[in-house]
Amino acid sequence: MSTDPSFAAAMAVDDYLTDTLQAEDGVLAAARHGSAAAGLPDISVSACQAQMLGVLARAVGAKRILEIGVLGGYSTIGLARAVGEGGQVVTLEVDPHHAEVARKNLRHAGLDELVTILLGPALETLPAVAETETPPFDFVFIDADKPNIPAYFEWALRLTRPGSLIVVDNVVRRGELANPASDDPAVLACRELAERLAHEPRIAATIVQTVGAKGHDGFVLATVLNTSSSANR
């Protein structure tokens, strides 16, 4: 962790907001503790970020959500709460142990009936999702292996509709996104995605930096304008 006083202040603000906004209730705390006890890495979104995802999903009236990367289901709980009764979250996970922990956490939250976990590499399961005769997704959250996020983003565009929202986590990479000398595959993929956002006619997008409990990072926020690749900005 950084010893920069401004970073310490950001951490204090994060703690204050979590407490004041009651961003982490008993269910989310149980999911966090359960994931840690099961040996999962501490890389879930923060409590305030999980709440942000729920706010964004509600803002677009999302009833069908696609999540790429479930881990222990912390963010999934926030998304499932947002879709509510009659909604559906489809989430993809490559690790069987992570998926089982997520199922346990979702059962404890009383949300397991709203969530379908598909096991396997996302680039193998996404074509199967596309082949199902179901409505497009209203909201997509991408929080998985970073080298593949340009491909995940393309699938998100295929599986959404005009008005859908696509959110991609962990794209600022502790500021390395702006480092042209980086040879980190995750950073290179995030730079590829950022450069694509500037020229993709099917979306309007921005990247928002974040600092706090998850360090210095950020999200892509992209609204789908048109699902046709020939659409004009």
Cβ–Cβ < 8 Å for 72, 35:
yes
Give backbone dihedrals phi and psi of 188, rounded to 5 degrees, phi first: -60, -40
pTM of the model as a whole? 0.92
> Three-class SS string for 113-152?
HHEEEEECCHHHHHHHHHHCCCCCEEEEEECCCHHHHHHH
pLDDT digits (tens, 9 = 90+) for 173-203: 988 999 999 999 999 999 999 999 999 999 9
Task: Specify whether the CB–CB gap between 134 and 64 falls below 8 A.
Answer: yes
Please tell me the distance from the alpha carbon of residue 20 to that of residue 71, in angstroms, as a whole number.
Answer: 26
pLDDT at 228: 65
Residue 72 tokens read as 């222990």
Taking only the tens place, the pLDDT of each residue in 87-110 is: 999 999 999 999 999 999 999 999
Directed axis angle between helix 74-83 and helix 47-59, to 10°? 30
Q: Delineate the domains of the chain, giving CATH numbers in brackets.
A: 5-224 (3.40.50.150)
Residue 232 pLDDT more than 80?
no
